[in-house]
Amino acid sequence: MASRLYRTTQALYLVIEGLLGSLGIASIGSPTLAALICLYVTGLVILDGRRTQTRVALILPARCHDALNRLLRLMPLSTRMLMTLLVSCVKRLGIEGYLCLDDVIVEKAFADKLPWAGWTYSWSKERKLFGLHIVVLVWCSLDGRWRIPVAFRIQRPKRSCGKRGYQTKLELAWDMLREVVASGLPFQYLAMDTVYTAGWFSRGATRLGLVWVGTLQPKTTVVYQGKRFSVKELGLLLHLKWRRHLEVRALSLAVYTPSYGMLKLVVTRNRHGSYDYIATNDLEADLTKLVLRKRSRWSVETVFRDTKQLAGLESCQARVDRAMVRHVSLVLLSFAVLQFLRSSPSETVGQVKQRWQTAIARAGESPPPPLKACPPYLRPHPLTSTA
């Protein structure tokens, strides 16, 4: 298939083909399926916008756009097998990491006929919008170098499923968490947002033997020194100390909650006066560790940003359920491939994409020499030149 590509894009395709081959892409289907996946991922890496099958086939004419459509709609492809390949890749890395759990909204303002889309509230845009809700579980290394998605689910709205078929975000996240734990993926802790720090979900994670870190709702009831408070009331009563290395005022204490049991609670207040109520089931963890673990959850937000801007998370225009799910899985696979294409640990995925786009545009030619402009101190003054 590489022989049918333009000379400028052959190198990138062959590199991606080698990377996906090392991940075991040949084990999930036929050679044709593996080649089409490599072609689709290469198109997502090259293009910046409008990553449709027609444009991918235009830039990479190894196969027509109908073949890429069949990849998304008809060919036998298990998205969970793709995620299993990424889990196996994380295991082979052999480094310490943690899990981040969160969801992202992909806006589809005019997709009334898309079964996956529905009305939902976006906290980032502070308004209701029509789109997809994707719950993602990401494995991140402690050194910050790797951010590899290991599981995802698209939430189907109530209008598109029966009463018994509807699942909340927490139920979808619970299924993913059990699958990842059953796969033997090593991680130190699970970082979650307030939405996922629900009583039954956190208790289930504790029963699985996991260490979790999240934030409590301000109205959560806690028992401290024999008295019942809401977390917000307790935070206002505490005398928080300034932590210079964290740049917040904070205090840690052990509390009992009817919904969670015994927890380690850290109340923080930043320079703007905003409070955070960080909770964990790790009763031995100190204040600094808990605050840093909570801040590490931001890695999943950068995954959402990069997949939208660099890998085409919002690009799929298909109406078929299967096509949308497969596109999301291939986008997450492309995001992992961008990290494997780095030439140095400090290179970002955006710089990787720009480097390969520049190499394709140059086609092996050297850049022209820079212009030799006259230094400013030698330029004639306007008044002198007119005189």
- Cα–Cα distance measured from residue 337 to residue 234, given in angstroms and rounded to the nearest whole number: 46
53-57, 122-126, 315-319: range with highest mean pLDDT: 53-57
Q: Determine the average pLDDT of the residues in 52-74.
A: 89
What does the pLDDT look like over 162-221, one tens digit per residue?
A: 777 888 899 999 999 999 999 999 999 999 999 899 889 999 999 999 999 999 999 999
Percent of the chain scored above 70 by pLDDT?
98
Percent of the chain scored above 90 by pLDDT?
61
**Residue 240: its pLDDT value, please?**
92
Q: Determine the average pLDDT of the residues in 313-321.
A: 83
Beta strands 97-107; 190-192: pairing state:
parallel
pLDDT confidence of 387, banded at 50, 70, 90? Answer: very low
β strands within 216-342, DSSP E: 221-224, 227-230, 241-243, 248-257, 261-269, 275-280
Strand-pair partners of 212: 190
Phi, psi of 106 (to 5 degrees): -105, 110
Element (H, E) at 183: none
Q: Determine the average pLDDT of the residues in 51-73.
A: 89
Strand-pair partners of 147: 140
- Cα–Cα distance measured from residue 14 to residue 2, given in angstroms and rounded to the nearest whole number: 7
Residue 384 has pLDDT above 60, yes or no: no
211 three-class SS: coil
- Cα–Cα distance measured from residue 1 to residue 63, given in angstroms and rounded to the nearest whole number: 8
The DSSP secondary-structure symbol of 380 reads P
What CA–CA distances, in Å, run from 133 to 42, 84, 172?
Answer: 26, 22, 11
Which residue in the block uniquely carries the two structure tokens 């209008």?
Answer: 159
**Residue 198: its pLDDT value, please?**
84
pTM: 0.90
The DSSP secondary-structure symbol of 277 reads E
Concatenating the DSSP letter of every residue in 66-111 gives HHHHHHHHTS---HHHHHHHHHHHHHHH---EEEEEEEEEEE-TT-
pLDDT confidence of 295, banded at 50, 70, 90? Answer: very high
| Across 2-11, 113-122, 376-385, least confident range | 376-385
**Residue 307: its pLDDT value, please?**
94
What does the pLDDT look like over 125-145, one tens digit per residue?
A: 788 888 888 999 999 999 989
pLDDT confidence of 25, banded at 50, 70, 90? Answer: very high
**Residue 336: its pLDDT value, please?**
95
Residue 383 has pLDDT above 60, yes or no: no
**Residue 326: its pLDDT value, please?**
93
